[in-house]
Amino acid sequence: MSKILKLIEKMLRLPAEMRFEDVVKVLEFFGWNLENVNGSHFVYYKEGFLPLTVVRHKNRVKRECIRKIIGILNLEEWYEEREK
């Protein structure tokens, strides 16, 4: 669990980019599943949500995509609840 927590903390700092594998670990922790790959676009699904496309550039995920993931997963609120 602590590894995931550290990845989420890193994500919340909004780095310019993160490793693709780290972003996938966070998505899978929250129950998202890879359903489709079209080139560098990886589409993840979770029941009750719209599909989430993660764009992979040279094994990295850019800040804008990280920001989108934070919003969809509601990571800021989740992290605050976890810290209490």
For position 43, what pLDDT does the model report? 98
Residues of the chain short of pLDDT 50, as ranges, are none
Closest CA relative to residue 12, chosen from 52, 83, 69: 69
What is the distance between the alpha carbons of residues 29 and 38, in angstroms, rounded to a whole number? 23
For 61-76, the DSSP string reads EEHHHHHHHHHHHTHH
Q: What is the CATH number of domain 2-83?
A: 3.30.920.30
Sorted by where each begins, the domain ranges of the chain are 2-83
For position 1, what pLDDT does the model report? 62
Q: Count CB-CB contacts under 10 A for residue 54.
A: 21
